[in-house]
């Protein structure tokens, strides 16, 4: 079974964007056309309908009833940000990345934290392949000096700036080194973020049409590299972004980045005849680890 959920929000009341709905339309049409996903299994949620409650409900639909061998895809285009929490005694004791629904407000009932996402996505059974494209700004330093706003014309950062009291909490959290990470528990995931953690993702116009810069170049490269590893597609998008004067650098993470976006595996290289055996010194044993944490770290 293939299931797709695409979320795009332009109509933020106080920080509107222009290209997010086009992103999710393009993503959904690309997946439907190229990977034969039944349109009944593609759910879109845009603008006024993309509240926190509705996004959570659709994410639960996405993971409900799936089993090994199934494929899931979630595309989010919109604002992202970061919040810090206080303990019962009033001390700052945590830091979370968030995505911003259309009813975004600076209280827990109106944003979606990385912990809430994790609580849903951790229920994906082993063997299910899950790809996630997040074209928003998420985390990193939130002060002006840490972010590059010197972008080419016709760009709006997909970053929701917190109010000053929450920025103060975040500053304290960074001083305390409260950088939270979550174990993936070996989720089969391929994840691409719009930018590094200290950058912003651009809401822009390309060929006269509003879009997210990362989304545009990601799917442009995927069209050419369907049989290439996921990480190569992201690398190609990064090259195109730089060539077109965008400062953001998309990041690929997860256990699926070494295989094609929707494929089983990368084709094996032709076998090479073995060279004649010669005595060699026995090499020492090496163990390779491929850790992956819930947040994309720049």
Domain hosting residue 68, numbered range = 2-253
The average pLDDT across 151-170 equals 63
Scanning the structure block, which residue is given the tokens 């972010």? 147
> Quick one: tokens of 295?
């947040």
Check: CB of residue 102 under 8 Å from CB of residue 9: yes
48 in any annotated domain:
yes
| Predicted model pTM | 0.78
297 in any annotated domain:
no
Check: CB of residue 23 under 8 Å from CB of residue 211: yes
Query: Does residue 266 have a pLDDT over 50?
Result: no
Q: What's the domain count of the chain? A: 1
264 in any annotated domain:
no
Cα separation, 161 vs 114, whole angstroms: 17
The CB density around residue 267, as the number of other CB atoms within 10 Å, is 9
Coil, helix or strand for 57? helix
294 in any annotated domain:
no
Amino acid 95: pLDDT: 73
Amino acid 94: pLDDT: 65
249 in any annotated domain:
yes
For β-strands 92-99 and 112-113, DSSP reports them as: antiparallel
Q: Is 284 exposed, middle or buried (0-12, 13-18, 19+ CB in 10 A)?
A: exposed
Q: In which band, very low, low, confident or very high, does the pLDDT at 173 lie, cut at 50, 70 and 90?
A: low
The CB density around residue 100, as the number of other CB atoms within 10 Å, is 26
- pLDDT tens across 59-110, in order? 999 999 999 999 999 999 999 988 876 766 656 656 778 999 999 999 999 9
Q: How high is the mean pLDDT of the chain?
A: 79
Check: CB of residue 63 under 8 Å from CB of residue 72: yes
Give me the percent of the chain exceeding a pLDDT of 70.
69
Region label for 42, one of left (φ > 0), alpha (ψ between -120 and 50) or beta (otherwise): beta
For β-strands 112-113 and 189-193, DSSP reports them as: unpaired
Query: Does residue 185 have a pLDDT over 90?
Result: no
89 in any annotated domain:
yes
Check: CB of residue 40 under 8 Å from CB of residue 4: no
Cα separation, 120 vs 41, whole angstroms: 19
Cα separation, 62 vs 283, whole angstroms: 47
Distance of CA 91 to the CA centre of its chain: 30
Residue 14 belongs to a domain with what CATH number? Answer: 3.40.50.1460
- pLDDT tens across 24-39, in order? 999 999 999 999 899 8
Active site residues: 79, 137
Check: CB of residue 193 under 8 Å from CB of residue 134: yes
- pLDDT: which is higher, 181 or 28: 28
For β-strands 71-77 and 129-135, DSSP reports them as: parallel
Nearest to 81 by CA among 136, 128, 3, 155: 136
266 in any annotated domain:
no
- pLDDT tens across 199-220, in order? 889 999 999 999 999 999 999 9
Q: What is the DSSP string of 165-212?
A: HHHHHHHHHHHTT-----B-TT--EEEEESS-TTS-PEEEEETTEEEE
260 in any annotated domain:
no
Amino acid 151: pLDDT: 45
């Amino acid at each position: 079974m293939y299931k797709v959920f695409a979320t795009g929000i332009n109509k933020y009341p106080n920080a509107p964007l222009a290209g997010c709905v086009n992103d999710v339309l393009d993503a959904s049409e690309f997946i439907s056309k190229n990977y034969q996903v039944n349109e009944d299994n593609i759910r879109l949620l845009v603008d006024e309908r993309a509240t926190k409650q509705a996004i959570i409900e659709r994410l639960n639909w996405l993971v409900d009833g799936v089993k090994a061998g199934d494929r899931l895809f979630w595309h989010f285009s919109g604002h992202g940000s970061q919040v810090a929490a206080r303990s019962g005694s009033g001390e700052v004791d945590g830091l979370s990345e968030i995505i911003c629904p259309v009813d975004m407000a600076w209280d827990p009932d109106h944003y979606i934290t990385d912990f809430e996402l994790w609580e849903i996505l951790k229920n994906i059974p082993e063997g299910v392949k899950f790809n996630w494209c997040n074209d928003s700004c998420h985390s990193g330093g939130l002060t002006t000096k840490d972010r590059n706003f010197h972008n080419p014309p016709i760009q709006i950062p997909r970053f929701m700036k917190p109010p000053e009291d929450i920025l103060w909490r975040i500053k304290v959290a960074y001083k305390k080194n409260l950088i939270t990470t979550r174990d993936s528990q070996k989720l089969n995931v391929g994840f691409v973020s719009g930018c590094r953690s200290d950058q912003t993702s651009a809401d822009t116009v390309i060929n006269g049409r509003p879009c997210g810069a990362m989304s545009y170049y990601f799917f442009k490269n995927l069209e050419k590299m369907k049989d290439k590893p996921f990480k190569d597609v992201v690398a190609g998008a990064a090259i195109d972004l730089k060539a077109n004067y965008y400062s953001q650098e998309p990041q690929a993470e997860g256990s699926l980045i070494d295989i094609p976006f929707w494929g089983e595996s990368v084709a094996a290289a032709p076998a090479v005849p073995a060279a004649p055996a010669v005595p060699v010194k026995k090499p020492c044993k090496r163990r390779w680890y491929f850790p992956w944490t819930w947040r994309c770290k720049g």
